[in-house]
Each structure stands twice: as structure tokens, then as C-alpha cells.
Structure 1
């Protein structure tokens, strides 16, 4: 069996943020790649096209053409959290873009890796009224990813729940991205899913990190330096709308009508999926 060509698309999670090695980011995709085959390098070529801050639009417009040109046997598409952190969030647009990406790769005969992810509000420890609107958005994205994964036969990782989310050792100083241990956890789980399908024949990555987890001082330093800039950029774009969403959340809770917000989100997801065109068959080649 010849080595597998593996291309990774997505945002900072796949770009490896939180797992620094040699002055650059490594991450779960790079940890997974050597275990896809039995050879010394594991793959017939690994390309990480993921970019920090990428949204579904960036994946469709910039990363997808580059991925298709490489004609990979395996491609990961893990994206959507940054969409939920923007005032322009639109589940219909997110659904259509993800469907285009999955469809284009599948037509080429590529096996897709996908994942549902935890909501950022919970990871950052935001107050309930602020966290719930973000959680609802992430749940909407996860519902779409679940449905599209079934539609295209993707290898899907359920990463939105589980003990790993509350295990501080899994997360980096920014509390939003996995640390080395967390990236290894994701790589291991993907490897197990691929091995079940006979798509990973090499050795699974080690679960044990090579570097110590960030301590309290490192976390505080990140929050005082890079973290401040990160929060400022997100607040400039999202905060006014998020405050309005939080006020709406408080009003509905006071009236006992919070389920209406959940039903509204579920209806939007259903409408977005219903509006998709029928999937095309993969190339005969």
C-alpha cells in the first residue's frame, strides 16, 4: 500500500496553536500524519494549510483550491469556531460553505476528517448570559457538521463533550486552544477512528507530552500580553452584538421562554440543511 497524502484545512486548532515546537506551531494534524502509514514518514506527503483566525469563508476560498491541487487521499476540515465569534455569523452561510468544501473534496475521492468542537464561551469561563448565546451558535455549527459528515461519509470525531474539556492539563495558557497534551489527545482519537477503517496502519502518536504544561505564571503572562490583544480584537467585532444577545437571553430566562431561543436555532439549522443541493457522486477516477 502506498503512503497516504494528507492535507489539513482549518483554523488555529489545526494550525497547531498551543503546541509550540522549535519556534513554530505543530499541532494534532502533524502529530497524526506519521501514523497514517507504515513507512518511516507515514504519509506520501503532508501539507498543513490551516490558518489562525480562519473562518469557513477562508477555507472555501483559499485553502480548498490549494488542497484540491494536491489531490489528497485524506483531508481534515475542522473549522467554524471563528465564525461563531463574529457579528456576521450566519448558519446558512456556514452550512453552504462547508457543504461546498466537503463536496469538492469528496468528488475527488478524498476521505474527509471532521470534528464537532466545544463552545468557546465555556472554555473561556464567560458568565452564563454571555456564554449561552455562543454555546447556541457552536451547537448549531456542530449540528451542521454532524449532518454533513453523515452526508459525505466523513470520519467524524465527537470532541464537543467529554472529560478532556474540563481537564486543565489538556489546554494551553490561552484556555481556548489545546496544549501539547490536548493536541496529542485529538491526534490519538483521530488515529483510532482511522485505524477502524483501515486508513491508519502506522503507530499511534504518544499521549505523553514532550514539554511541561504551562504553569500559572505562563497563563497570567499570556493574558497580560497576547491575551489582551486577542480579547480586544474579538470584542471590537463581537461584543456589542454579544451584549444584545445576552440581554435577550436574560429576558427570555426571566419569562421562562428560553426554549424559544433553542427552537429558533434548531429551525435555522434545519432550514440551512434543507436548502442544500443534492450531493454529487465522487469521480470515477
Structure 2
């Protein structure tokens, strides 16, 4: 292996010099910042955490919102391989879950192909399984079996290709509403910070621990019940679900016309405070 790309640093682990993130809106950072001031997101935050023990780390983020797993493979895998990463994250499949037609085997096949290609190129590859969205979005109950089916196939593909898996749904805190933005589909800044810390812990980065999995303090006030809860759900549907369905009916995507925010490997500074 080319020593410029990966340098063993002994018992503490492997030194990473090139980190590339592939995926959709969550990896792009939607929910953590905005399109005017810029998106940060868990992958940016993970790069900052990794830079603390990997001086000289460079990072690229190829993710684009709205992309299906097959599109991530078609559009991002080639550019990712050209960057010769020694660390890569691949997170995709939620957009597939929400389409009328969903084939868990097909989606997992795209993920497995990316796992295999990146691993063969010398990268350590990490991914995650998805939490139960129905705990955040009661109307999403019909997709619960899809989530379980996809997670099972992600685990299988990861075992086959030696991929590190963050089991995000194993901890109740991941469905705490405070970790999610108002649309309930994208993490909030706090949620993105927790995902980054979880990946760092799962990868065994120096200085990481399992504090990301601990519950948040009890929320102030009482949860909405009765008519107030119904009103909250109706407001969410009008603000977020309606526009999303409208795009689907028109054959549009939130990512139409968009390109990767960080297509080239560039230097990244060590983690700053959230």
C-alpha cells in the first residue's frame, strides 16, 4: 500500500490521511446550517474529530441531497475512488425507503458494490443502520418493515466486505426529537454532532467514547397531547410532507441541479466546539 495514503501509527490505530464521504442529504449536512451560511453536518464534524489524531488529514464530501442509493453509486463512487481514500463513509438508502417502489435487495446491492470497490482500493469503510423513523413520524409506520429489511441487508453486506457498522438504532437517544430538525428527516446540529461522535467511537478514534449514546436531560415542559398533538402533526404534514409529496408527483428531487459541496480533498482543522 502506498505510504502516502496510509501510515500505521502503532497500537493506537491507523493514521488516516484521506477521508471521503458518500451519501445523500444527511451526509451533505442538511439540518446543520443552511444553504446561505453553509452546511456543516456529521461528516464535516467527523473529519474534524479525525483530524485531531491525524495531522494532515484531507477531506472530501461528495454527498448530494435527494440521491437514491443507485445514484450515489453511479455519481459518487467513481470520483471517490479517484481520490484514493484510506477512510470512507457510505450512508444511503433512506430516500429509497420513502419511494412507492422499494427493493431492499436492490438498494443493498448498490451499497455492497460501493463497499467492495472502496475496500479494494485500500479504504477502511464505515456505514450505519437506520433508526426506527416511526418513533419520530407516526405516519411512517408502513415503512417500518422496510427499515428492518434494509438494516438486515446492510449488516450482511458489511460482514461480507469487512465494513464497520454504526448501529444507530440500538440506543433510544437517537430518536429523541431534539436530535432532529423540524422536518424529522434530517438531524439537527446536536444530532449531527452525536452522529459524528458515534462514528468516531465506532471507528475507535483516539479520544472518542460512548458518551454520544447517553440520554439527553429531561426536556422542559410537558409533551403535546390530545388536540395539541394532532395540531402538531397537521402542521408538520402541511409544512414538510405536502411539499415532499408534491416533488415526488412532479418527478422532482430536492437535489436537482445540485453538486457536491466539497468535491476535492482539502485540509481540515481539528474539531472545534459545536
CA distances 1:257-278 after superposition (whole Å, capped 9, x unpaired): xxxxxxxxxxxxxxxxxxxxxx
| 1:7 to 2:20 alignment | yes
CA distances 1:77-106 after superposition (whole Å, capped 9, x unpaired): 111111111123112211221121111111
Q: In structure 2, how many angstroms separate the alpha carbons of the residues matched to 1:158 and 1:3? A: 22
Aligned 8 A contact 1:6 1:46 in 2 = yes
Q: In structure 2, how many angstroms separate the alpha carbons of the residues matched to 1:147 and 1:236? A: 35
User: What's the Cα RMSD here?
Assistant: 3.0
1:31 maps to: 45
Q: In structure 2, how many angstroms separate the alpha carbons of the residues matched to 1:77 and 1:122? A: 24
1:93 maps to: 106
| 1:190 to 2:204 alignment | no
Q: TM-score, normalised by structure 1?
A: 0.68
RCO higher in 1 or 2 (8 Å CA, sep ≥ 6)? 2
Relative distance call for 1:89 and 1:43 in structure 2 (3 A) is farther
2:164 maps to: 155
1:145 maps to: 154
* SS of the residue 2:73 aligns to: helix
| Greater fraction of residues in helix | 1
Q: Pick the aligned partner of 2:243 from 211, 229, 252.
A: 229
Q: CA deviation at 1:184?
A: 0.6
Aligned 8 A contact 1:34 1:43 in 2 = no
Aligned length: 219
Relative distance call for 1:92 and 1:3 in structure 2 (3 A) is closer
Q: TM-score, normalised by structure 2?
A: 0.70
Structure 2: gaps of 5 or more residues: 1-6, 8-14, 213-223, 225-232, 252-274
Structure 1: gaps of 5 or more residues: 208-215, 238-285
1:264 maps to: none
* SS of the residue 1:29 aligns to: helix
1:54 maps to: 67
